[in-house]
Each structure stands twice: as structure tokens, then as C-alpha cells.
Amino acid sequence: MSNAWARGARSFRPGAYTGTVPQRSPDAMLAPTPTARLLAWLDALNAALAAGDAQAVAGKFQPDGFWRDFVALTWNLTTQQGRGPIAAMLQATLPQAGPKNFRVEGEASETADGTIEAFLRFETPAGLGWGHVRLRDGLAHTLLTTLDALAGHEEARGPTRPRGVEHGVHRGRKTWAELRAEQEATLGITEEPYVVIVGGGQGGIALGARLRRLGVKALILEKLPRPGDTWRRRYRSLVLHDPVWYDHMPYLPFPEHWPVFTPKDQIGDWLEAYVRLMEIPFWGDTEVLSARHDEATGEWTVKATRNGAPMTLRPKHLVLATGMSGMPNRPVFPGQEVFQGTQRHSSEHEGPGDRGPEG
Ligand SMILES: Cc1cc2nc3c(=O)[nH]c(=O)nc-3n(C[C@H](O)[C@H](O)[C@H](O)COP(=O)(O)OP(=O)(O)OC[C@H]3O[C@@H](n4cnc5c(N)ncnc54)[C@H](O)[C@@H]3O)c2cc1C
């Protein structure tokens, strides 16, 4: 009996439930639980991975199944559909990436259409992985693998968080506020950032938070004055289009009393507070004008203006987080030149009642 079936047997307790619980047929009661069925699939997956057999791993998927990988195997964001493309991805990556020890986090659940789904944990030589699987008819319909932490560079949190106190007498001891002020006075001024992030919208800010927790010296350059200004500048009646539980930033979830659809100025204030609480180095009023990479030095030369004054930074890495809708697309329509009404891009619309600059 494999581990999977043994675990399934332990979770089946005949006679444990009575009364108003809906009656299940004896066959259904004897059927292995969703977790047990998933564990059987994971046992087979782990065995195929351990053997380095890409075809056998691909055979654990439905013929049109998907494997979506975020960095864990491919160091890229990629989706493969079908056993052939999945096997090809594995042949290229298994020798170095070697994911192993896939296991269930918590319990698997089963939807009305018989899909079994669960979150997963696994390991690669590079770090710890986290993922999600959906099984249909005993084969993977979708598998997501993401790299959650780099081995040896795990974020200090929970039991490994810093102590925050230094007992004893230390000459020249600095407080948290003094250290923060020192970092703000040096990073980007007397000390080059290791990473420059262009754009302080929610993408740039989320990355800034992650890099800060990893101890990477990163600096965000944002052309607008304050974090959250991209949201504040949008039309008056805007609320987020997704419910609040889809919109969390890393580490700090929104409070539970927040409206389901968060108003745009509230999200702007949240981003500003988030930058402060997460101690993210952020320069507003800083517009990046150009960036050039020098292969010889392995450095970028980033030219920008800060509060109108020209400046140059030389980081090792450059991230463009300027958003995909930052540049208005202004199509030209026939008859536009004779149209008498207001014409403007949606980013300039202030909301209901706004009749444009002509009133
Ligand atoms: C009406 C509307 C409703 C939306 N609702 C939701 C929702 O409910 N949930 C959700 O998750 N998403 C929602 N989105 C999408 C969300 O706004 C974007 O996905 C998100 O803002 C993208 O974040 P980003 O950091 O990639 O880009 P942006 O937020 O666009 O940030 C890019 C930043 O780069 C800065 N920048 C650009 N060029 C430079 C430069 N040269 N130098 C310095 N800085 C520069 C810009 O000023 C800007 O602050 C909505 C979008 C709109 C328009």
C-alpha cells in the first residue's frame, strides 16, 4: 500500500458521522478521499521526476493539459499545453532544475464536476516551490509551479525575524529612525542602488517590497510626486474593478472592513502608506529619460531628472515597471476634424458630469 492510500484510509472513519449529515451510498463512503486520490497522482509524479523521465511526467497530464511555470523550472514565465510541449520543457530543464518532493499543502477539494484541486509544495536545487494542481479523471488538467524562496536567501520572517533589540552598552548605537534616515540620505546619492525600478505603480512598489525583504538595495524612480498618484489622477467615480481580495499587495493584506470594490483614492493612500511601512526606497518627481547597458562593466547608465535636475545612476539591474497603459493611444478617426463635441483620451476623463475643457 502506498503512502497515498494509507493516508486516505486514515481519513475514512466509518460511523463517525450520524444525524443530519446527508447520507452517502456505501460505495461513495468507501471511495478514497480527494486528498488520497491526489496523493496517488503525486506519488507517480515524484517517481517519474526522480527517474528523470520527461515523457512519463508528461503522461501524468491530460493530452491537452497545461503546465504553467513561474521561474521554478524555466527561470521564466511560461505556459506549455499538451504532453509534447510539456515533455520538451522538462527535457530542457529537468537536469538542472530537478523539482522533487511534490506534496499537498492542507487538503485537496473536489468540485461538482469531479475536478480535484489543491495547493502544493515542492523543492528544486535553487529553492522552495509552491504550486497548484487540478486533476480530472486522474490526470493533471493544470499544474502551476512557482519558485517561492531562493535556497540560502529565504526571507527573514516569522521565527527568523530580526530581534530588533540590542542589549548591553554599544558606543554609537543607532536607532531604527536614524538608520532609516541614513539609508535615505545615501542610497542613490553616495551609494549606487543594485537595482533601479522605473515606475512606482503597484507593480514597481510590490517588487520594491520583495527586494527590500531580501536585503537587495533597490530604488524606485517615479515621475509622479507621490506613491498612489496614478490612481488619484484617474476619473472621480473610479473604484477598483476586481474585488478587494484579488488585489492584495505582498505581506500586508487590506483590512477586512474595506469595501469590496476599493475607491481609487483609497487605494492611492494605501500604496503611499505601504511604501512607508514596508520601508521601500522611493523617489517621486523623478522621470527616467534613458537607460543604456554596458556589457564591459555589467552596469546600466540610467539618466533621469529628479525635481527637474538631471542625474545619473549606475545600477547592475534595471526593471521597467512603467505599466502597459501608461502611454495614451490616440487613434485618428475620419471626420474627427469636423466633430464639434469634446474629444479626449479616456485617461483625461474626470467622470460623470465632466464635459471636458470647453465645459
Ligand atoms: C479603470 C481601471 C480599473 C482597474 N481596476 C483594477 C483592479 O480592480 N484590480 C487590479 O489589480 N488592477 C486594476 N486595474 C489595472 C491596474 O491599474 C494595473 O494593472 C496596474 O496599475 C499596473 O501596475 P503597474 O505598476 O504595472 O503600472 P502602473 O500602475 O501604470 O504604474 C506605472 C508607473 O510608471 C510611472 N512611469 C512611467 N514612465 C515613467 C518614467 N519614464 N519615469 C518614471 N516613472 C514612470 C507612471 O507614472 C506610473 O506611476 C485597473 C486599471 C484601470 C485603468
Residue nearest to atom 49 of ligand 1 (CA): 201
- Sign of torsion over alpha carbons 259, 265, 266, 267: positive
CATH of the structural domain 31-150, one choice from 3.40.50.150, 3.10.450.50, 3.40.50.2000, 3.40.50.1980:
3.10.450.50
Report pLDDT for 6: 36
43 exposure class (CB count in 10 Å sphere: 0-12, 13-18, 19+): middle
- Region 234-245: mean pLDDT is 92
Please give the DSSP secondary-structure letter assigned to residue 313.
E
Position 5 pLDDT exceeds 60: no
Residue nearest atom 16 in ligand 1 by C-alpha distance: 202
Region for residue 233 given its phi and psi (left: phi exceeds 0; alpha: psi -120 to 50; beta: otherwise): alpha
Domain ranges of the chain: 31-150, 181-320
What separation in Å is there between the alpha carbon of 184 and the centre of ligand 1?
Answer: 25
The pLDDT, as a whole number, for residue 162 is 86
Compute the average pLDDT of residues 1-19.
Answer: 38
The closest alpha carbon to 330, from 341, 345, 349, belongs to: 345
Q: Give, for 49, the enclosing helix (H) or strand (E).
A: helix 34-50
pLDDT at 24 over 70: no
Cα Rg of the chain, angstroms: 26
- Ligand 1 centre and the CA of 207: distance in Å? 14
d(CA 198, CA 193): 13
pLDDT of residue 357: 55
pLDDT per residue over 207-221, tens digit each?
Answer: 999 999 999 999 999
Ligand 1 probe mutation, 198, 224, 230, most atoms within 8 A of CB: 230
Which of 207, 222, 290, 348 has most ligand 1 atoms within 8 Å of its beta carbon, as the pocket-test mutant? 222
- Please give the distance, rounded to the nearest whole angstrom, from the Cα atom of residue 49 to the centre of ligand 1: 40
Query: What is the structure's pLDDT at 310?
Result: 98
Pocket of ligand 1 (CB under 6 A): 198-204, 221-224, 230, 238, 240-242, 247, 287-288, 321-323, 326
- Structure pTM? 0.82
pLDDT of the residue at 14: 38
**Is the pLDDT at 16 greater than 50, yes or no?**
no
Q: In what order do the strands lie in the sheet with 100-110?
A: 77-81, 61-70, 139-150, 127-136, 116-124, 100-110
Nearest Cα residue to 220 out of 149, 175, 228 = 228
pLDDT at 7: 37
pLDDT at 353 over 70: no
Task: Indicate whether 200 pLDDT > 90.
Answer: yes
Cell of 106: 492542507
Residue of 246, 318, 322 with the most ligand 1 atoms within 8 Å of its CB, for mutation: 322
Q: Is the pLDDT confidence value at 205 over 70?
A: yes
Instruction: Please name the amino acid found at residue 36.
Output: A
**Fold classified for 181-320:** FAD/NAD(P)-binding domain (3.50.50)
Mean pLDDT score across all residues of the chain = 89
Task: Tell me the pLDDT tens digit for each residue of 39-90.
Answer: 999 999 999 999 999 999 999 999 999 999 999 999 999 999 999 999 999 9
